[in-house]
Every structure is written in C-alpha cells, then in structure tokens.
C-alpha cells in the first residue's frame, strides 16, 4: 500500500498535510533522487490556474534543483500538454500542479515519465522511500538549474491543430467552449478558432479562485444554455486541467465519456481499425458494452483511473479507451487522456460521417446509473471489506432485477462511490437507497 500516491498522483486540501509547501519541497527532492539514481536530469513543471500553484511551483523547483535536477517552468498548461512537451523535448519527466476537477482550495501533483505516461507503481514506491529519508542538498557544483519556457502554449497549440485532419476545416461550425477558468483558457479557444470555427468562449478569466466553480465538465448546464442561446452546432466543456471533456449537441443533450467513446469507436472502425478493441472502466455504462458488441468491437474493463485504462490499452496493443467521466485516450495521437484531442477527434468523425453530433450518437442506449458519493471517516478498504457491507452488496444484487452494483473508494476524495445500474428505474433507486444507507451506517 502506498502512503501518499492515489490513482493520479498526490492530491488534497491546500495547507493540510501532505499538500503543504514543506511536503512538496521534500517531494520534489525525493523525486529528484529517484531521477538522479537513473542518470536522469531534466524535469518540466506545468500547473493549472489555482492560486496555490505559485507556491507549489516554487517548492517543487527548489526540491528538484536541491537533488541536482534541472527544471523548466512551463506556466499554466493543460495536463496533456505537459505530457506532450515532456516527450517531444526529451525531458526525463513532467510534473503538473493540479487537482483536476476539484475546487480551488485543493491541489496536487501529477507525474509523467519520459514517454508522457503516468509513473509505474515501482517508481511511486521509490519516491515514497526517499520521502522517509533526510533531505540532503547535493554539493553546490551539482545543484540543478531552473529556466522558464516562453513558447510552451504555442507548441502545444500547434500539436493539437496538426492532430486534426489536415484536409479539413472547421469553417461553418459554431462551437461553444467552456474552459472552466482552468488550464485550457488561453489554449482551446485559439485552437478551434485557428482551425476555422466560430468560437464562443465561456469561463476564460481565471483569478486563482474560480477554477471549476459552476463551470466546465462538472457543471454542464451553463454550456447547455449557451449552445441553445447561440444556436451553436455543439458545445465542449473541459475540466480544470484539460484532461477530460464532455460535449453538448445542438439540441442541448449532454454527451459523456461513454457517448464519446461510442462515436470514436464507429469512426476508428470506419478508418480501418478493424482489429482494435476499446478499454473502459468498472464505471463504463453497460449499454456501451452492448453497443460495441453489436459493432463487433471487443471491449474490456479496467479499474477506475485513466492510468489503468492506459495499462490495459498498452497490454492489448489497442489505441482507444476512456472513462465515462470524460477521460478519452487516443493512443494513436497522444500518450494520455486529452480533452482537446478527444474533442477534435469527434469533430473529425462528424466531418467524415457528414452527421451532426446528435445523430452520430444514435445507436447507443445507456442503462440508468445512480452514483452516490458517501463520505467515510476511516479506511475505505476496511469499510468495503467489512461483513456488513459484503452482506449488503449480496442483498442488493439479489434485489436488482437486471443490472450491476459497484462499490469503490475514490482515488481523489474521501468518499466511497456507490453505483447501481439497470433498466428498471424504480428498482435501481430502491437498491441504491438501500446500499447508501448500509455504507453510511457502516462508516459511522
């Protein structure tokens, strides 16, 4: 069991251990020691728009250079942009200061290896080993150097534009973008406008405190209203660090990650990826699994977390996967979940099929899912393995007419996620209430 790392780096409340300047300084040093032990020397650091990012950027830089590692400061950058630059600039690692979709008062550190992929469990365990060691600065002649890259955003913009079909244009498309006052605020509008679209941009004025606040992929109603008001062809919402998205069609209907995976599966199949399968997660709607089966597309589930989706994609040598939360991985284009790249691929699919977004999603009938977050006060592993919860799950499955039950700890928040999925709405509501009550009682 790792002490600090969750499913996507280290995350928590700013000012509460471990998300403190002292710890992040030590974390930078510990990671630097791991890199140095492998003869690696160069790290990129990006961040989203949280006010605490300034503090942690300085702390990380100080810790890394104290371990003898050169650092390059990128400024506000989407998480997948940092992954891309890490790979193309031949850096040894990329770090992102972000708490993704969480409120401004949370923050965290995400890690990428030299290939722009998440770190292995072994590397994370090595970092945790050094976190328990005393911090000793290398000798003065070995201290790392720090610099700032001025054109980081421009490089990522060009990469995204080149992923779009170079024979096509977005001329004639009216697109509403919701950038969540996050890391895509100065990047996404330029990409879609330079590809020819008429762009209406929402939430592109970050002030350090308004990231994700009533905006972005977690709060789509503003986007729905804007698409209808502007009579746009579609809307796209990103989260705070730009690694996930949701979309809204011209009728105001919301498309989540499962809808997007279905559309891209049909597009990839038409492009000749006939031997490819798709990787989802435990939370992927059962309706998508059925729809893919009807298309003849293999489907497998991974644990929740885009790193686990990536691992299974690499194992199977497939290119398309994602989560219903909106993490979409197109491994033929990039190395990690990327909201902008995912959206551009959907637009490629629309142009190829000569269909609007509403028509393109037809063929996928999703089961009703009820997902409830239940706070807990102690170890989620102990809670979920308790006899009371095991008996409650068995009873819930017995009571469920047709569907699935899933209880899992969040990797980013102190909650247990209770999911019940099925066709009979009244039945799944009753089963969900029963399970939520059982988890609540067991957790008190």
Residue numbers annotated as active site: 100
* Residue 418 bridge partners (DSSP): 372, 407
Buried b (16+ CB within 10 A) or exposed e, 221-237: ebbbebbeeeebbbbbb
- HSE-CB at 365 with a 13 A cutoff on CA atoms is 4
DSSP 8-state secondary structure symbol assigned to residue 119? P
SS (H, E, C) 141-195: HHCCCEEECCCHHHHHHHHHHHHCCCCCCCCCCEEEEECCCCCCCCCHHHHHHHC
Q: How far apart (Å, rounded) are the C-alpha atoms in residues 235 and 176?
A: 4
Q: Contact 28/64 with Cβ under 8 angstroms?
A: yes
Q: Contact 344/355 with Cβ under 8 angstroms?
A: no
Strand order through the sheet with 254-255: 198-202, 174-178, 234-238, 245-249, 254-255
Take residue 304 and report the two structure tokens written for it. 């929740």
Q: How far apart (Å, rounded) are the C-alpha atoms in residues 374 and 88?
A: 42
């Amino acid at each position: 069991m790792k002490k600090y790392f969750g499913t996507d780096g280290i995350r928590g409340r700013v000012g509460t251990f471990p998300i403190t300047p002292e710890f992040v300084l030590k974390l930078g040093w510990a990671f630097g020691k791991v890199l140095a032990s492998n003869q690696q020397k160069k790290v990129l650091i990006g961040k989203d728009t949280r006010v605490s990012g300034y503090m942690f950027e300085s702390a990380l830089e100080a810790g890394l250079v104290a371990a003898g590692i050169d650092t390059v400061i990128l400024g506000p950058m989407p998480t997948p942009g940092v992954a891309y630059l890490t790979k193309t600039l031949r850096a040894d690692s990329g770090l992102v200061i972000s708490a993704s979709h969480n409120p401004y008062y949370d923050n965290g550190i995400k890690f990428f290896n030299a290939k722009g992929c998440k770190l292995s469990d072994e590397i994370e365990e090595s970092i945790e080993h050094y976190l328990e060691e005393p911090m000793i600065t290398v000798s003065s002649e070995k201290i790392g150097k720090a610099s700032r890259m001025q054109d980081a955003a421009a490089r990522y913009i060009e990469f995204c534009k080149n992923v779009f079909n170079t024979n096509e244009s977005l001329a004639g498309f009216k697109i509403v973008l919701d950038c969540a006052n996050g890391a895509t605020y100065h990047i996404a509008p330029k990409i879609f406008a330079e590809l020819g679209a008429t762009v209406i941009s929402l939430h592109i004025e970050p002030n350090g405190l308004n990231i994700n606040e009533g905006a972005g992929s977690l709060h789509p109603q503003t986007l729905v209203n804007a698409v209808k008001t502007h009579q746009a062809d579609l809307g796209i919402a990103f989260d705070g660090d730009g690694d996930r998205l949701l979309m809204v069609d011209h009728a105001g209907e919301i498309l989540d990650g499962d809808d997007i995976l279905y559309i891209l599966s049909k597009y990839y199949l038409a492009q000749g990826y006939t031997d490819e399968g798709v990787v989802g997660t435990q939370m992927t709607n059962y309706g998508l699994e059925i729809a893919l089966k009807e298309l003849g597309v293999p489907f497998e589930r991974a644990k929740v977390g885009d790193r686990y989706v990536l691992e299974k994609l690499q194992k199977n040598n497939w290119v398309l996967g994602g989560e219903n939360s909106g993490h979409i991985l197109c491994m033929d284009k990039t190395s990690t979940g990327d909201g902008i790249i995912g959206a551009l691929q959907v637009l490629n699919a629309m142009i190829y099929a000569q269909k609007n977004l509403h028509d393109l999603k037809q063929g996928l009938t999703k089961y009703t899912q009820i997902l409830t977050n239940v706070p807990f006060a102690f170890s989620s592993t102990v809670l979920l393995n308790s006899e009371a919860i095991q008996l409650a799950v068995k009873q819930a499955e017995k009571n469920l007419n047709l569907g699935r039950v899933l209880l899992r700890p969040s990797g980013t928040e102190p909650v247990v996620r209770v999911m019940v999925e099925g066709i009979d709405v009244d039945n799944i509501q009753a089963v969900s209430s029963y399970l939520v009550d059982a988890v609540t009682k067991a957790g008190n």
